[in-house]
Structure 1
Amino acid sequence: MLEALTGWLLNYLVHSTVLLGGVWALERLGVLRQPVWREAFWRCAFFGAVVTASAQPLLQGQRIELPGSWNDVAVAAAPTTAESVDADMADPSGAAAPVPMPRPEPSPTPAPVVNSVPTRAPVVGAADAQRDGSTDGLRVAADRPLGAGFVAALGHSGELRDAVAAFVLAWPIVALLGLASTLVRWLALRRQVRALPLADDHELRQAAFELAQRAGVPVPTLRATPHWPSPLVAPGAQICLPARLMRTLDPGQRVAVLAHEIAHLRRRDLAWRLGARLVAQLGWLQPLNRLALRRLDLLAELACDAWAASEAGPVPLAESLYVCARDRADVPARRVGRWRRAPGAMPALASAMAAARSPLMQRMQALLEESPMTDAPTSARRRAGRWLLAGGLCALALAVPMIVIGKAPRISLDIGDAVSRLASTGKVTRQVSISGGHELRVTYGGDLVFNEDDTDIVSLDDKLVIWERIDGVTRKVEFRAAGQGAVTRQYWIDDDARPIDDTARQWIAEQVSRVAETAQGSEKRARRLLERGGVDAVLADVAKAPEPMIRRSRIEGLLATGRQPDDTMMRLIALTDDMGDEFQRRNALTSLIEHQALTPAQQRAVLEAVGKLSVDFDRREVLVAMSPKLSEDAAVMAAWRQAVQGIGGDFEKRMAIVSLLEDGASRNAAGRVDTALAASLLVQGDFERRTVLESVSRQLHGGVAAHAARYADAARTMSSDFERRTALTALMDEAQVDREVALQVLRGMDGMSAGFDRAELLMSLAGHMPADAALIAQYRQAARGLSAHDRGRVEAAIDHLTPS
Structure 2
Amino acid sequence: MRSDVVATWLLTLALHAGVLLTMAWIIDRGALRTHLAWRELLWRVALFGSVLTASAQCLFDVPVSARLLLPGVAGTAPAAPAPALARAIDTRNQDAASDVEDDAPAFLVSENPAPVSQVVSAQDARSNTAAPRDWRSFWHLAVIVAWLAGLLLALSRIATRWLQLSRVLVRAKPIEDAGIVTDARALAIQACMAPPRLAALDDLASPFAVRSQRIVLPCWALDLLDREQLRAMLAHETAHLARRDPIWKLATAIWCAALWFVPVAALARRRLGEIAELACDTWAARHLGDGRSLAECLAECAERRIDGFDAELAPAMAHRDSPFLQRIDHLIDGAPMHTDFSRTRAGIAAFAALALAAAILPGVGLLPARAQIPPPAPPAPPAAPSPPKSEGKHVHISADIDAFGTRHRYSTVEINDGGRGYSAKIRGEVAFNEDEDGIAKLSDDGSASFSETRGGTTRRVDYANRSGKLEERYFVDDREQAIDAAARTWIAGLIPVVIRETALNADVRVKRLLAKGGAGAVLDEIDRIESGYARSVYVQQLAASAKLTPAEVTRTIGLIGGIDSDYERRNALAALATAAPFDAMQQKMVIAQAGEISSDYERAELLVGILPKLASTPDVHEAWLRAASGIGSDYEHRRVLTALLDAGSVDDAALAHIIEGAKSIGSDYERRELLVSAVRRAGDADRIAPAYATATADIGSDYERREALLALMRAPGFGAVSARAVLDAAKSIGSDYECREVLIALARVMPADADLIARYRDVARRLSESERGAAERALDRFAS
Q: TM-score, structure 1 length as denominator?
A: 0.49
Counterparts of 1:688-767 in structure 2, within 5 Å, are: 688-700=670-682, 702-749=683-730, 751-752=732-733, 755-767=736-748
Deviation at 1:685, TM superposition (A): 3.4
Deviations 1:579-625 (A, max 9, x none): 33333233333333444443333333233223323333333333333
User: Using the alignment, how far apart are the partners of 1:744 and 1:717 within structure 2?
Assistant: 15
2:478 paired residue number: 495
User: Using the alignment, how far apart are the partners of 1:744 and 1:270 within structure 2?
Assistant: 43
User: Using the alignment, how far apart are the partners of 1:755 and 1:522 within structure 2?
Assistant: 65
Whether the 8 Å contact between 1:716 and 1:750 is mirrored in structure 2 is: no
Find out whether 1:678 has 2:660 as its counterpart: yes
Whether the 8 Å contact between 2:438 and 2:495 is mirrored in structure 1 is: no
Choose from 12, 28, 33 the match for 1:58.
28
User: Using the alignment, how far apart are the partners of 1:430 and 1:585 within structure 2?
Assistant: 23
Deviations 1:635-656 (A, max 9, x none): 2333333323333332332232
Find out whether 1:585 has 2:562 as its counterpart: no
User: Using the alignment, how far apart are the partners of 2:734 and 2:636 within structure 1?
Assistant: 30
Counterparts of 1:432-451 in structure 2, within 5 Å, are: 432-433=413-414, 435=416, 437=418, 439-451=421-433
**Cα distance change, pair 687–791 in 1 and its aligned pair in 2 (3 A):** same
Whether the 8 Å contact between 2:679 and 2:711 is mirrored in structure 1 is: yes
Choose from 450, 462, 479 the match for 1:478.
462
User: Using the alignment, how far apart are the partners of 2:769 and 2:503 within structure 1?
Assistant: 78
Whether the 8 Å contact between 1:450 and 1:516 is mirrored in structure 2 is: no
User: Using the alignment, how far apart are the partners of 1:709 and 1:269 within structure 2?
Assistant: 44
1:687 paired residue number: 669
Whether the 8 Å contact between 1:431 and 1:441 is mirrored in structure 2 is: yes
Counterparts of 1:103-502 in structure 2, within 5 Å, are: 155=106, 214-216=170-172, 275-279=252-256, 283=259, 408=360, 428-433=409-414, 435=416, 437=418, 439-460=421-442, 461-462=444-445, 463-481=447-465, 487-496=470-479, 497-501=481-485
Deviation at 1:729, TM superposition (A): 0.8
Q: Which has the higher contact order (CA 8 A, sep 6+)?
A: 1
Find out whether 1:529 has 2:513 as its counterpart: yes
Secondary structure of 1:648's match?
Answer: coil
Counterparts of 1:72-83 in structure 2, within 5 Å, are: none
Secondary structure of 2:718's match?
Answer: coil
User: Using the alignment, how far apart are the partners of 1:791 and 1:270 within structure 2?
Assistant: 37
User: Using the alignment, how far apart are the partners of 1:158 and 1:409 within structure 2?
Assistant: 24
Deviation at 1:521, TM superposition (A): 4.5
Secondary structure of 1:499's match?
Answer: coil
Deviation at 1:476, TM superposition (A): 0.8
2:529 paired residue number: 545
Deviations 1:413-450 (A, max 9, x none): 99999xxx9xxxx9943324254545544444543333
Deviation at 1:525, TM superposition (A): 1.9
Whether the 8 Å contact between 2:644 and 2:650 is mirrored in structure 1 is: no
Structure 1 spans left out of the alignment, 5+ residues? 1-5, 15-49, 62-69, 73-85, 99-138, 143-152, 160-174, 183-209, 219-234, 238-267, 290-376, 381-388, 392-404
Choose from 759, 768, 774 the match for 2:749.
768
1:614 paired residue number: 598
Choose from 543, 547, 550 the match for 1:559.
543
Secondary structure of 2:563's match?
Answer: coil
Whether the 8 Å contact between 2:634 and 2:667 is mirrored in structure 1 is: yes
**Cα distance change, pair 749–272 in 1 and its aligned pair in 2 (3 A):** closer
**Cα distance change, pair 660–427 in 1 and its aligned pair in 2 (3 A):** closer
User: Using the alignment, how far apart are the partners of 1:447 and 1:270 within structure 2?
Assistant: 59
User: Using the alignment, how far apart are the partners of 1:586 and 1:731 within structure 2?
Assistant: 37
Deviation at 1:761, TM superposition (A): 1.6
One-letter amino acid of the structure 2 residue matched with residue 577 of structure 1: G
Deviation at 1:731, TM superposition (A): 1.5
1:223 paired residue number: none
RMSD (CA atoms): 5.7
Greater C-alpha radius of gyration:
1
One-letter amino acid of the structure 2 residue matched with residue 466 of structure 1: F
Deviation at 1:89, TM superposition (A): 7.3
Secondary structure of 1:560's match?
Answer: helix
**Cα distance change, pair 716–465 in 1 and its aligned pair in 2 (3 A):** closer
User: Using the alignment, how far apart are the partners of 1:781 and 1:498 within structure 2?
Assistant: 96
Deviations 1:199-240 (A, max 9, x none): xxxxxxxxxxx989745499xxxxxxxxxxxxxxxx999xxx
Deviation at 1:577, TM superposition (A): 3.4
Alignment: residue pair count: 485
Q: TM-score, structure 2 length as denominator?
A: 0.50
Secondary structure of 1:725's match?
Answer: helix
Whether the 8 Å contact between 2:22 and 2:264 is mirrored in structure 1 is: no
One-letter amino acid of the structure 2 residue matched with residue 761 of structure 1: V
One-letter amino acid of the structure 1 residue matched with residue 692 of structure 2: Y
Deviation at 1:477, TM superposition (A): 0.8
User: Using the alignment, how far apart are the partners of 1:631 and 1:451 within structure 2?
Assistant: 46
Whether the 8 Å contact between 1:87 and 1:442 is mirrored in structure 2 is: no
Deviations 1:430-484 (A, max 9, x none): 324254545544444543333345443222234432233345331211224477x
User: Using the alignment, how far apart are the partners of 2:361 and 2:598 within structure 1?
Assistant: 32
Find out whether 1:653 has 2:625 as its counterpart: no
Structure 2 spans left out of the alignment, 5+ residues? 1-10, 32-63, 67-80, 99-103, 111-143, 152-165, 175-210, 214-244, 266-304, 309-319, 323-356, 371-397
Deviation at 1:551, TM superposition (A): 1.4
One-letter amino acid of the structure 2 residue matched with residue 767 of structure 1: R
Secondary structure of 2:440's match?
Answer: strand
User: Using the alignment, how far apart are the partners of 2:246 and 2:706 within structure 1?
Assistant: 45
Secondary structure of 1:608's match?
Answer: helix
Whether the 8 Å contact between 1:466 and 1:478 is mirrored in structure 2 is: yes
Deviations 1:377-426 (A, max 9, x none): 9989xxxxxxxx999xxxxxxxxxxxxx9x95899999999xxx9xxxx9
User: Using the alignment, how far apart are the partners of 2:519 and 2:596 within structure 1?
Assistant: 26
Find out whether 1:639 has 2:633 as its counterpart: no
**Cα distance change, pair 560–91 in 1 and its aligned pair in 2 (3 A):** farther
User: Using the alignment, how far apart are the partners of 1:724 and 1:57 within structure 2?
Assistant: 29
One-letter amino acid of the structure 2 residue matched with residue 692 of structure 1: L
Whether the 8 Å contact between 1:766 and 1:797 is mirrored in structure 2 is: yes
User: Using the alignment, how far apart are the partners of 1:524 and 1:272 within structure 2?
Assistant: 62
Secondary structure of 1:681's match?
Answer: helix
- What percent identity do the matched residue pairs reach? 27
Deviation at 1:660, TM superposition (A): 2.5
User: Using the alignment, how far apart are the partners of 1:657 and 1:800 within structure 2?
Assistant: 39
1:796 paired residue number: 777
Deviation at 1:556, TM superposition (A): 0.7
Secondary structure of 1:735's match?
Answer: coil
User: Using the alignment, how far apart are the partners of 1:211 and 1:433 within structure 2?
Assistant: 66
User: Using the alignment, how far apart are the partners of 1:686 and 1:59 within structure 2?
Assistant: 27
One-letter amino acid of the structure 2 residue matched with residue 55 of structure 1: W
Secondary structure of 1:564's match?
Answer: coil
Deviation at 1:688, TM superposition (A): 2.4
Deviations 1:271-314 (A, max 9, x none): 98865553455x4976999xxxxxxxxxxxxxxxxxxxxxxxxx
1:313 paired residue number: none
User: Using the alignment, how far apart are the partners of 1:757 and 1:466 within structure 2?
Assistant: 68
